[in-house]
Structure 1
């Protein structure tokens, strides 16, 4: 069972889904009647959002929409709502996953729409409550949603070596000569990813503890995404940080960051499903994901940056091992 702080934190989260229009307020006249009229228009757009076609989404023209707990569950028989953990920027994350969404639409016959969470707890909450049906999320997020709501993984992503694992990376700004090993991070400014991120928090916390460095030994903070961590380290707001291996390799190759250390392999990201998703739909989606082969006519230059570079494997083939014990330790699961 999750601790009371985590429950309270999740339950306070609202979520926002993708809309197809965005109003510019720069030209709004300072007139109370105009604002009232604008409010009515926005309200009407939100109300009709569920009927619009996913393929027309322009992420640069989106609005945040609060979803009421009274109307969370998806009742559309032919629409699958998809969420994801924030890894890079929302626009980049959506670009990574759009080719997979198009593949699933063609393969399963369902319509798919993305709902963009504000943060990791938001994604956990939406999946567990049924606001989204499936989510591309880290193992920690999936298992926490499972502990709280009954969500569960159906597949795990395969890396470039066709293994269902990834690594966490602890990084520093390129050329920073004050940090040469993990031990040099003690008493430094450190930025984690989100507190519910596998690669951004759980794995690097374990790495630091193995080096004799505990939270009390750091001036640390949390960030919303892996990309935010990079920005804070590069701009000098932190001496070191923790991110996913894919982004670390890319930034190191571009000479922006140096990798201080990589972790050992841990279970990769999952496609996790809501407890409200029917078995029939789940089986159709799972079968399509297991048949998915990025090397067979799949055109996407961005897919290589995901944790599913070579497709998926059945969740039954993956053992959580050390990861589950760390989740129990860091999140007080009972």
Structure 2
């Protein structure tokens, strides 16, 4: 009997096996292939959502041309969500801090790969700031309120905490109250308004605020600068096809400040250029996190 539209034909065993194999192959495709050819990127929310979107826009347009596919920026609500979206392959590329990279690397069983970092991230620093006239040094913050950024922030929490502990200043024992603002710009606002006596944040955001005259360094002052450490990077999941990973890496490394397009992207990313990255760069971050009981 000829099959009708409502009566499917009988498939041969060989055809059924072929269809099953195709279904399994489709299930194994990388995230961007499962969403209509859209390559998705995200970033830890270390600044306001509007600022993150502004920074992402020209990079998205550039990567669309370089990859030959649609690229979308997918914002997340917190640092943990950034980790989970890449680990679970909901996005293809993530902008991580050193600590969030370590979290994703551990969480994924080593299945995420840092491809590039800014040249500045090879020697990154954190700052402690205050607007309290009585505070001249870190020791003067004892018994007062201190704000970190996000609990999962490398430069706004983990490394400032690490260097405080090295100086014998256990935060929960040294300060009257330890707060978490959630982002670097929010830390600056909390210090400037007098909500806390001191705050820890990354040097890059601080310099941006000073350059854009969003903060008066005569009123909100830097009282301590940490030693250097590795920080931010662009990370992909290991399941992203190598050809795509190589094309993406080459595109980011090719950005140069002497072209209009490169200059705009690098300025927004607060980078002179991108350089290759590797897992080993973040061993110090992992050691600090484990030592502080944060991993």
TM-score range, shorter-chain basis?
Answer: 0.7 to 0.9
- State whether residues 252 and 259 of structure 1, in contact with CA within 8 Å, keep that contact through their aligned partners in structure 2: no
Shift of 1:204: 0.7
Runs of 4+ more than 2 Å apart: 249-254, 274-280, 294-307, 316-324, 330-333
Say which of 139, 162, 165 aligns to 1:209: 165
Q: 1:274 to 1:100 in 2, by over 3 A?
A: same
Say which of 264, 269, 272 aligns to 1:306: 269
Task: Name the counterpart of 2:65.
Answer: 106
Task: Name the counterpart of 2:15.
Answer: none
Task: Name the counterpart of 1:221.
Answer: 179
SS across alignment from 1:250 = helix
Within 5 Å, which residues of 2 pair with 1:29-40?
none
TM-score calculated relative to the size of structure 1: 0.70
Task: Name the counterpart of 1:52.
Answer: none
Task: Name the counterpart of 1:126.
Answer: 85
Within 5 Å, which residues of 2 pair with 1:1-334?
73-74=31-32, 75-76=34-35, 78-149=37-108, 150-159=111-120, 164-173=122-131, 176-215=132-171, 216-218=173-175, 219-252=177-210, 254=213, 255=216, 257-298=220-261, 303-304=266-267, 306-307=269-270, 309-316=271-278, 319-320=281-282, 322-331=284-293, 333=295
Quick one: distance in 1 between partners of 2:266 and 2:189?
22
The structure with more radius of gyration: 2
Quick one: distance in 2 between partners of 1:302 and 1:276?
27
Q: 1:318 to 1:99 in 2, by over 3 A?
A: farther
Quick one: distance in 2 between partners of 1:249 and 1:225?
15
Shift of 1:130: 0.9
Q: 1:275 to 1:107 in 2, by over 3 A?
A: same
Quick one: distance in 1 between partners of 2:286 and 2:117?
15
Shift of 1:305: 5.3
Quick one: distance in 2 between partners of 1:294 and 1:317?
27
- State whether residues 80 and 113 of structure 1, in contact with CA within 8 Å, keep that contact through their aligned partners in structure 2: yes
- State whether residues 134 and 274 of structure 1, in contact with CA within 8 Å, keep that contact through their aligned partners in structure 2: yes
Shift of 1:324: 2.8
* Paired residue total: 256
Task: Name the counterpart of 2:26.
Answer: none
Shift of 1:235: 1.5
Q: What 5-or-longer segments of structure 2 have no aligned partner?
A: 1-29
- State whether residues 113 and 236 of structure 2, in contact with CA within 8 Å, keep that contact through their aligned partners in structure 1: yes
Task: Name the Cα RMSD after superposition.
Answer: 2.3
Q: 1:231 to 1:119 in 2, by over 3 A?
A: same
TM-score calculated relative to the size of structure 2: 0.79
Q: 1:180 to 1:251 in 2, by over 3 A?
A: farther
Shift of 1:140: 0.9
Task: Name the counterpart of 1:61.
Answer: none
